[in-house]
Amino acid sequence: MDGVTPIIEITDLAKQYPLPDNKNETFWAVDGVSLSINRGEIFGILGPNGAGKTTTLEMLEGLNDIDRGEARIAGIDVRDDPFKVKQVIGVQLQANEYFDNLSLRELLVLFGRLYDRDVSPMDLLESVQLTDKANAKPESLSGGQKQRFSIACAMVNEPKVLFLDEPTTGLDPQAKRNLWDLVRELNDSGMTIVLTTHNMEEAESLCGRIAIMDHGKVVAEGTPQDLIMQHAPEPPAAPLHGNLEDVFLALTGHALRD
């Protein structure tokens, strides 16, 4: 492929936490993750709960200290220059509540000011189809609208990389499809998008490449097609084909996680 350059380079990234039931012992929530994410791609990080997806994102976003390894975004070292990194990334967190008593329009202006920018709230709202909600309060929005609004907030600084943490969790199928369209649109405009998800369908239809994480490590990486070819169970006899969910379960097992 031509012009493929990495925008995020992660080498041996690791994060240590105390065990929940024994504070004296520690475990590696993220344990030696190395990834290279290309400019302009939609990259998915999959994994069961507790696999270390969110922790990995939080280290890239500067929310969590890096205990080992290093990460660079757009050439900037995340550990050395967190404030510079924050200028070039947009972040959507799992929790998306905002200050009370402010309208969407006012919140977007505020977010713009955090980057020392004068944004046009109406343009941003138009790009996420929320123009008619400009004067509404976030708490009055539906689940899908809330997610679209938090993407609008993440775009106030025209980021090079957009991080989405489980953007479609809890959305109905219509809202989910609608959000996928939005993500594709943003990607078409040149934005690199890194998202975590539990939804295999989402990973398969949206992501150019994915990494599957378990127990703090990357257990597989590649395009959805590659992964299916490599890891899906062999068809028993006839033309039965596995899907990405089979891959996921084959790699991470069937045991329930919390």
Partner 1 sequence: MPILTRLQLHLSFVFLKIFLRDRQSIFFSLFFPIIFMTVFGFINDGEQQAINIGVVDQTSSTVAREFVDQLIQSPVFTVTLGEEAMLTRALEAGDQAMVLVLPEALGEDDLATSTTNLRLLVDAAEVNQLAFVLPALDQTLIEIERQFRDIEPMFQLAIEDVQARSQSYLDFLLPGLMAFTLMQLSIAGSGFNIVEYRRKGILKRLFVTPIKPMDFITAIVLARTGIVLIQLTVLIAFAVLVLGVSIVGNFAAFYFIVLLGTLVFLNLGFCLGSVAKTQQAVMAVGNIVIFPQIFLSGVFYPIESMPDLIQPIAYMLPLSYVSTAMRDIANEGATLMAITPSLIGIGLWFLIGFYLATRLFVWKEVAN
Interface residues toward partner 1, by CB under 8 A: 61-65, 83, 86-87, 89, 91, 93-102, 106, 110-111, 113-116, 153, 157
Least distance (Å) from partner 1 to the CB of residue 236?
47
Q: Which is nearer to partner 1, 16 or 64 (CB)?
A: 64
Query: Measured from the CB of residue 131, what is the shortest distance to partner 1 in angstroms?
Result: 22
CB nearer partner 1, residue 50 or residue 222: 50
List the structure tokens of 27: 């475990």
127's enclosing H/E stretch is helix 121-127
Output the smallest distance, CB 97 to partner 1, in A.
Answer: 4
**Tell me, what DSSP letter sits at residue 64?**
S
- Count the residues in the chain: 258
- Rounded Cα distance between 39 and 5, Å, is 6
Our CB check for partner 1 shows the closer of 162 and 182 to be 162
Burial 34-70 (b: 16+ CB within 10 A, else e): ebebbbbbbbbbbbbeebbbbbbbbbbbbebebbebe
Query: Given phi > 0 = left and psi -120 to 50 = alpha, else beta, which region is 52?
Result: left
CB of 57 to partner 1, least distance (A): 10
Closest approach of Cβ 175 to partner 1, in Å? Answer: 20
Q: Which is closer to partner 1, CB of 106 or CB of 246?
A: 106
Residue 61 or 202: which CB sits closer to partner 1?
61
